[in-house]
Amino acid sequence: MLDQNQVEQLQANLGYQFNDRSLLQLALTHRSVGTQNNQRLEFLGDAALGLIMADLLFINHPFASEGDMSKARASLVNRQALSALAKKLNINNLLVMALGERKNGGAERDSNLCDAVEAIFGAIYKDGGYEACYQCISRLLRKEMPTQSLDEIKDAKTRLQELMQQKGLALPVYEVENIIGEEHEQCFNVTCQTELSREISKGEGSSRRRAEQDAAAAMLTLISQQTSGEN
Amino acid sequence: MLDQNQVEQLQANLGYQFNDRSLLQLALTHRSVGTQNNQRLEFLGDAALGLIMADLLFINHPFASEGDMSKARASLVNRQALSALAKKLNINNLLVMALGERKNGGAERDSNLCDAVEAIFGAIYKDGGYEACYQCISRLLRKEMPTQSLDEIKDAKTRLQELMQQKGLALPVYEVENIIGEEHEQCFNVTCQTELSREISKGEGSSRRRAEQDAAAAMLTLISQQTSGEN
């Protein structure tokens, strides 16, 4: 069970008070716990986030093409961005999971954090309706919304490639580690190596392309952490 | 401009009256006409459809896994299903497009019909809000919603493969015709051949897997049309 104070703090951070707190509890329950877990809410929250971000981009960028809006949304709501948001909301300390998963670093794993944030959005949608979910998401992600023209937004792989070229270094190397799952729900696991980091970054996604984007975003985070560490 | 009677008929079929009819007009305007076209509304409508179908499945299948809900949604809202809906709504006769596109069969092309239906959902969302869009979509797609357990739903490729095996025929052959577009917005064009149809079916999608699913669904439609023609 969640600590009462923690629930209050999370609700304050979300700017949303749950009528039914069991939904919030469920959203924070990792699938390692059992069949009552956050995966169904995550499915719903992912879709809610998709529509709400689409609408915010539609409103704020009246002349952007659908292709640029789609790219902008992908750069705003990827695994990296959502797990960063999860950490800001302290979700890593609130996740309920089996001991084995926790010992394996599950509470800090991007995919678990990202699922939990999306499940919370799904829980708000169920608890308070679409409008409440809209308000919460736009409040939390307002600062991340692009202010420049959307056609200037570049995807993570492009940004990483340009960074390497700028520094006169070799291009990033992507490798598929493995592909798991049945055909209609495959998950690609990809690594990314660059001369700017000793660490290898990892990415996952439902296609090789998405997994590479994810790994590139993780590599950009690694590089920026190293750079800020040097300062 | 749309004929007034046609607008009335379409609104009756949708079960929705537009406050701002220029949104409906825009939703029916193919991109061949110019920069004022239905692509932005399509982006929004696609996302709205995704959330609304997710919610309907969530409500109607309280014990389904997220994987099964995701599969069920993909089988309900694919290009085949949406273009069939578009034809039921007579959208093929209402699409506004450049003469060249029309002469090339653009008004009957699945991708154009599918885009227009999604754009109409986007237009309703903008015109009447989320609830109005929810009502319209659930009314139009209620009959298509699965009543059986979701884990029994099979994707198009699986169904086609099983059909061929049942009849003791060779498995379908999928071939990538071409891949167009930049990396982050690639479109795969795939063909599907089977011993059950002289015609080749075509599919498109943002990954090879999706394009193959699309081609398999088109092949199943071809086969069922031939079978009903034989009766």
Residue-wise pLDDT for B131-149, tens only, equals: 999 999 999 998 888 877 8
Q: Which residues from chain A sit within 8 angstroms of residue B55, using beta carbons? A: 44, 47, 125
- For B191, the enclosing helix (H) or strand (E) is strand B187-193
Q: What is the mean pLDDT of residues B72-85?
A: 89
Q: What is the mean pLDDT of residues A131-144?
A: 93
For residue A126, give its domain range: 4-150
Q: pLDDT band at A134, cuts 50/70/90?
A: very high
Contact B205, B188 (CB under 8 A): yes
- What per-residue confidence (pLDDT) applies to A183? 66
- Tell me which residue in B46, B50, B209 faces A183 most closely, judged by beta carbons: B209
| A112 and A192 fall within a common domain | no
Q: pLDDT band at B183, cuts 50/70/90?
A: low
| A45 and A94 fall within a common domain | yes
| B138 and B171 fall within a common domain | no
Please give the share of chain B, as a percent, with pLDDT higher than 90: 74
Which of A93, A118, A150 terminates a domain? The answer is A150
| Nearest to B161, CA basis, from B169, B151, B153, B150 | B169
Contact B113, B36 (CB under 8 A): no
Is the pLDDT higher at A190 or at B224? A190
Instruction: Please answer yes or no on whether B184 and A42 come within 8 Å at the CB atom.
Output: no
| A73 and A104 fall within a common domain | yes
Kindly name the residue from B68, B115, B118, B204 that is annotated as catalytic: B118
The Cα angle at residue B206 between residues B205 and B211, in degrees rounded to 5? 30
| B167 and B205 fall within a common domain | yes
Total domains in the fold of chain B:
2
Q: pLDDT band at B172, cuts 50/70/90?
A: very high
Contact B34, B27 (CB under 8 A): no
What ipTM goes with this model?
A: 0.80
Nearest residue of chain B to residue A213 (CA atoms): B184
| B141 and B219 fall within a common domain | no
Q: Give the phi and the psi of residue B29 in degrees, each rounded to 5.
A: -100, 115
Residue B129 lies in a domain: yes
Indicate whether A182 pLDDT > 90.
Answer: no
- Distance, in angstroms, between A87 CA and closest chain B CA? 24
How far is C-alpha A123 from the chain's CA centre?
A: 17
Instruction: Please answer yes or no on whether B39 and A65 come within 8 Å at the CB atom.
Output: yes
Residue B26 lies in a domain: yes
Q: Which residues from chain A sit within 8 angstroms of residue B42, using beta carbons? A: 66
Instruction: Please answer yes or no on whether B185 and A44 come within 8 Å at the CB atom.
Output: no
Kindly name the residue from A42, A110, A118, A204 that is annotated as catalytic: A118
- By CB neighbour count within 10 A (0-12 exposed, 13-18 middle, 19+ buried), where does B5 fall? exposed
Q: Which residues from chain A sit within 8 angstroms of residue B54, using beta carbons? A: 43-44, 46-47
| B134 and B172 fall within a common domain | no
Q: Which residues from chain A sit within 8 angstroms of residue B207, using beta carbons? A: 206-207, 209
- Distance, in angstroms, between A93 CA and closest chain B CA? 25
Residue B116 lies in a domain: yes
Which of A119, A150, A181 terminates a domain? The answer is A150
- Distance, in angstroms, between B231 CA and closest chain A CA? 34
Indicate whether A231 pLDDT > 50.
Answer: no
Chain B interface residues (partner A, CB cutoff 8 A): 39-40, 42-44, 46-48, 50-51, 53-55, 58, 64-67, 69-71, 74, 125-126, 130-131, 155, 157, 183-186, 206-207, 209, 213
- What per-residue confidence (pLDDT) applies to A206? 83
Nearest residue of chain B to residue A122 (CA atoms): B55
| B123 and B183 fall within a common domain | no
Query: What CATH number did the domain enclosing B172 receive?
Result: 3.30.160.20
Residue B151 lies in a domain: no
Chain B contact probe: residue of A26, A55, A78 with most B CBs at under 10 A? A55
Between chain A and chain B, the number of residue pairs with CB atoms below 8 A apart is 90
| A129 and A167 fall within a common domain | no
Instruction: Please answer yes or no on whether A209 and B213 come within 8 Å at the CB atom.
Output: no
Q: pLDDT band at A184, cuts 50/70/90?
A: low
Q: What is the mean pLDDT of residues B148-170?
A: 88
Q: pLDDT band at B3, cuts 50/70/90?
A: confident
Instruction: Please answer yes or no on whether A66 and B74 come within 8 Å at the CB atom.
Output: no
Q: pLDDT band at B231, cuts 50/70/90?
A: very low
Residue B216 lies in a domain: yes
- Tell me which residue in B66, B130, B209 faces A40 most closely, judged by beta carbons: B66
Residues 6+ apart with CB under 8 A from A65: A150, A151, B39, B40
Which of B118, B146, B174 terminates a domain? The answer is B146
Q: pLDDT band at B108, cuts 50/70/90?
A: very high
Instruction: Please answer yes or no on whether B130 and A125 come within 8 Å at the CB atom.
Output: no
Q: Which residues from chain A sit within 8 angstroms of residue B51, using beta carbons? A: 44, 47-48, 50-51
| A145 and A214 fall within a common domain | no
The alpha-helical segments, DSSP class H, found in chain B are 4-14, 21-27, 39-60, 66-76, 79-88, 99-103, 110-128, 130-141, 156-166, 208-230
| A54 and A137 fall within a common domain | yes
Please give the share of chain A, as a percent, with pLDDT higher than 90: 73
- What per-residue confidence (pLDDT) applies to A118? 98
| Nearest to A45, CA basis, from A109, A132, A142 | A132
- Distance, in angstroms, between A66 CA and closest chain B CA? 5
- What per-residue confidence (pLDDT) applies to B138? 94
Average pLDDT, chain A: 91
* Active-site residue, B152 included: no
| A145 and A54 fall within a common domain | yes
Instruction: Please answer yes or no on whether B69 and A43 come within 8 Å at the CB atom.
Output: yes
Instruction: Please answer yes or no on whether B55 and A66 come within 8 Å at the CB atom.
Output: no
* Active-site residue, B118 included: yes
Average pLDDT, chain B: 91
> What pairs with residue B96 in β-bridges?
B29
Contact A206, A185 (CB under 8 A): yes
- What per-residue confidence (pLDDT) applies to B230? 56
- Tell me which residue in A69, A131, A206 faces B43 most closely, judged by beta carbons: A69
